[in-house]
């Protein structure tokens, strides 16, 4: 994998910059890039978890400084997602099944990026009981997919929270940042216990991810339009999802 470093490093910097600017880890796009360069699917989740943690940690630190984080909003999601992340990481399907799952999830994420606007105001004030029930219901499936694939889950959680009207855009960004960090850490712990992480590759690309996150969180304080960038990521994920699907049926 080290032979791809000089190509992947600037791409990872770019992904980290853009995702961290909206409070996400970027796991889905790291996965897409690693897939495009032929990295085996079984080796991707622990790598993506580490990159998620690096990017989300920087974003979370910035949000904490600005006092945007609401622990009560993130807690019910985490109660359901963290155990589910472990179960997802434990599941080892055969390569064909894993490829189809990766393709389906990446395709779904691409559609969310294509059809979700960044600035959406809460539609209504949800009751506390309703918020908890929705959070527990959503947290489990997203955590399971995150554990299986190596995505933090923020890119799935964020659009759903905005569509439901659970919180303001800024609160959604902060909640996603917490969600990505905690669930990626949970998934990574499992993979470390299994001895499935290539540290040398992670350290090299980790510098690019950290640098991108630093720039991205600084840009998040400015008013920027991300519609074009969302579409670029969506196209990348679509390409990878079709590539994986075609490979299965060849």
Contact (CB, 8 A) for 220 and 20: yes
- Classify residue 212: in a domain, yes or no: yes
Q: Could you give the 3-state DSSP secondary structure of residue 125?
A: coil
CA distance 207 to 187: 21
Report the number of distinct structural domains present in the chain. 1
Q: What is the pLDDT of residue 13?
A: 92
Which token pair is 134? 């929705």
pLDDT tens for residues 39-87? 888 788 888 899 999 888 887 777 666 555 667 788 899 999 999 999 9
- Classify residue 72: in a domain, yes or no: yes
- Classify residue 86: in a domain, yes or no: yes
User: 75: domain range?
Assistant: 27-216
Single pTM value for the model: 0.82
- Classify residue 14: in a domain, yes or no: no
CA distance 241 to 235: 10
pLDDT tens for residues 129-180? 667 888 888 999 999 999 988 888 888 888 788 777 777 777 787 888 889 9
- Classify residue 236: in a domain, yes or no: no
- Classify residue 136: in a domain, yes or no: yes
- Classify residue 167: in a domain, yes or no: yes
- Classify residue 205: in a domain, yes or no: yes
CA distance 148 to 35: 15
Closest CA to 188 of 89, 60, 42, 54: 89
């Amino acid at each position: 994998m080290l032979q791809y470093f000089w190509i992947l490093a600037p791409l990872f910097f770019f992904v980290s910059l853009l995702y961290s600017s909206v409070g996400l880890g970027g796991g889905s796009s790291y996965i897409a890039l690693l897939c495009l360069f032929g990295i085996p699917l079984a080796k991707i989740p622990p790598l993506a978890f580490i990159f998620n943690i690096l990017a989300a940690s920087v974003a979370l630190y910035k949000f904490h400084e600005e006092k945007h984080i609401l622990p009560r909003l993130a807690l019910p999601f985490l109660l359901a997602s963290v155990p589910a992340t472990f179960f997802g990481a434990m599941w080892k399907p055969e390569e064909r099944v894993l490829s189809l799952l990766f393709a389906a999830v990446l395709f779904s994420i691409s559609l969310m990026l294509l059809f979700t606007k960044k600035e959406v105001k809460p539609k209504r004030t949800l009751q506390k009981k309703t918020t908890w029930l929705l959070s527990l219901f959503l947290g489990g499936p997203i955590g399971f997919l995150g554990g299986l694939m190596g995505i933090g889950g923020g890119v799935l959680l964020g659009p759903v929270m905005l569509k439901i009207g659970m919180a303001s855009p800024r609160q959604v960004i902060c909640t996603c940042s917490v969600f990505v960090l905690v669930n990626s850490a949970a998934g990574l712990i499992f993979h470390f216990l299994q001895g499935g992480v290539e540290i040398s590759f992670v350290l090299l690309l980790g510098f690019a991810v950290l640098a991108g996150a630093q720039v991205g969180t600084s840009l998040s304080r400015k008013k920027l339009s991300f519609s074009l960038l969302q579409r670029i990521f969506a196209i990348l994920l679509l390409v990878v999802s079709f590539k994986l699907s075609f490979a299965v049926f060849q």
